[in-house]
Amino acid sequence: MCGRFVSTTPPEELASYFGAQPPSTEAALAPEYNVAPTTDVYAVFEDGSTRVLAPFHWGLVPFWAKDPSIGNRMINARADGLATKNAYRNAFKRRRCLVPADGFYEWRAVTGQKTKQPYFIHRRDDEPLAFAGLWETWTPKGGDGTDRLRSTTIITTDANETMAPIHDRMPVVLPPSAWDRWLDPDYHDVAALGSLLVPAPPQLLTVHPVSTDVGNVNNRGPHLIDPLPADRVLGGDADRA
């Protein structure tokens, strides 16, 4: 799964990296070391013929939802159910996006302890990750369109060899060679699209343990991604880093 991540790269740099139009100054998000569900996150999508970087609510709200609270439990979408589940199948065909991240957090259960050990996972070359995502637009019943909500979800798949010791699932990370096809709203071959939703190559990512401070959404400083000293790793399992 993916329940927390880091987004600190300036929007102008992200837009350039993804070949997208940047958000306006008014719409730009603040750098965040502890991005949590139901907050706004950046997503890259195709708006007509233009690729755009813009803020989206994290937690997919289908167009048919009675209220946006349904998005609270739709921050992630399993890759193996996108083509059949009512909440995702339309977006999978027509409204796909990329969710940029500098890295993400995952927690490993520790034998004999209630507290889990968090880890920070990021690219070895420190370039942005491109999570595969879906997006939707929701308008309240009786609304006039000015109060519409754009929301997104991050797609997950089985863990690769790097992630498996920590968690059995991970976000889908799409390589640049897949971006054009994934973002094209006129490309509807769900079988071909599904073939893109595989675990990232193990050598792409690196992992290290971090402070349990990341478990509190009120903690937001850059120290959250600092490697944890071996003598402070829960369970003494620093070798997983």
Mean pLDDT per segment of 10 residues, for the chain of length 241 residues?
95 98 96 98 95 98 93 96 94 97 97 95 98 96 78 98 97 98 96 97 97 97 97 74 43
Domain count within the chain: 1
DSSP state of 239: G
Which residue among the candidates 2, 46, 97, 136 is catalytic per the annotation? 2
Is 97 a known active-site residue? Answer: no
CATH at 77: 3.90.1680.10
Token pair in block for residue 63:
């167009």
Question: CB neighbours of 151 closer than 8 A, spacing ≥ 6?
Answer: 56, 57, 58, 59, 60, 61, 68, 71, 135, 136, 137, 138
Cα torsion for 35, 37, 39, 41, to the nearest 10°? 60
Report how far residue 15's alpha carbon sits from residue 3's, in angstroms, rounded to the nearest whole number: 23
- Rounded to whole angstroms, the Cα distance separating 7 from 210 reads 17
In this prediction, residue 1 carries a pLDDT of 79
97 within 8 A of 135, measured Cβ to Cβ = yes
State whether residue 142 is helix, strand or coil: coil
pTM confidence score: 0.95
- Catalytic hit among 46, 97, 106, 136: 106
Residue-number span of the structural domain to which 74 is assigned: 5-240
Distance CA 97, CA 91 (A): 10
Nearest Cα residue to 170 out of 184, 181, 158: 158
Instruction: Please report the pLDDT score of residue 237 as a whole number.
Output: 60
